[in-house]
Structure 1
């Protein structure tokens, strides 16, 4: 995502502020997602259309957002039926909602890289040898191990700045 630039920018501000540059949230995401105190929520929809939101521990690796979820959790079952989802995060001075898709990562090399990334950030994750991750602990909302690894692909983002310079902007990505 860090190397992707928006293909369209829409100013949503009603007070005359200029559109926010995409670089503002993009540059905040890597550090913010490594902090446990940063609230991050995944929004999915069940096959019958009921919405579901759950807190997740998201990771930023090589310009992409990743997260884990146990195969039996509601969010994983929802993603298996419909990959469309949202990630909402409170960044310093800005609320950001990302709309896109989450796909399960099964490539052993990618799983190995993300396990190392998580371990370097303080969560002792390891590949389980069967396409997932395991660790001595995780958030209760992740379900029991092993956990599936997901890569989030952004389609649109909306940022609302609560700190100067203010504004509200929608970014669209090809």
Structure 2
């Protein structure tokens, strides 16, 4: 269920003269289509940790997974605040998105089956997961699944006009 369309606020300090705030639908479309995201978490000692991963946008949130013994899972267990970013590495064009929020573990098997089907639809058969006992299972391994509902999303557009848009969620 969509929580509604947040209104974008342009920050003129980081935007070209005459730039306009981006429409949320453009940002949401990029979150749906993006293949690679970067997850930023904080280690228990305060040092940052960043790692690439796959994610799917469903029901106004990003879903991602990681092994239960990986650094990402340990960091999120200690501090669920995190950031997922995606975008383009080109200076002269593109849109980068920074999604801030709290990652919440998803352990309901019915919900996990829906998310697993979405991963396979988006990324293909190599990303097919079985679901059992609150985990994704594949190739003998298990993965913990998280839901990141955005608190704030920043959009950084580049090209003929540069702009920084912020969307806040309640």
User: After TM superposition, is the score higher than 0.5?
Assistant: yes
Contact map agreement 1:116 1:126 (CA 8 A) in 2: no
Name 2:46's counterpart in structure 1: 49
Report the CA distance between 1:119 and its aligned residue.
2.5
Q: Deviations over 1:40-88 (max 9, x none)?
A: 1000001221110010111122332100011111110000011100001
Counterparts of residues 60-75 of structure 1 (less than 5 Å)? 60-75=57-72
Name 2:107's counterpart in structure 1: 106
CA distance in 1, matches of 2:15, 2:107: 44
The number of aligned residues is: 161
Unaligned runs of 5+ in 1: 137-143
Counterparts of residues 70-149 of structure 1 (less than 5 Å)? 70-90=67-87, 93-121=94-122, 122=124, 123-127=127-131, 129-136=132-139, 145-149=141-145
CA distance in 1, matches of 2:60, 2:82: 19
Query: Normalising by structure 1, what TM-score?
Result: 0.82
Of 159-168 and 68-77, more deviation after overlay is shown by 159-168
CA distance in 2, matches of 1:120, 1:27: 16
CA distance in 1, matches of 2:11, 2:112: 38
CA distance in 1, matches of 2:8, 2:121: 35
Name 2:24's counterpart in structure 1: 22
CA RMSD of aligned residues (A): 2.2
Contact map agreement 2:154 2:164 (CA 8 A) in 1: yes
**Which of 147, 151, 160 in structure 1 is aligned with 2:147?**
151
Secondary structure at 2:26 match in 1:
helix
Secondary structure at 2:141 match in 1:
coil
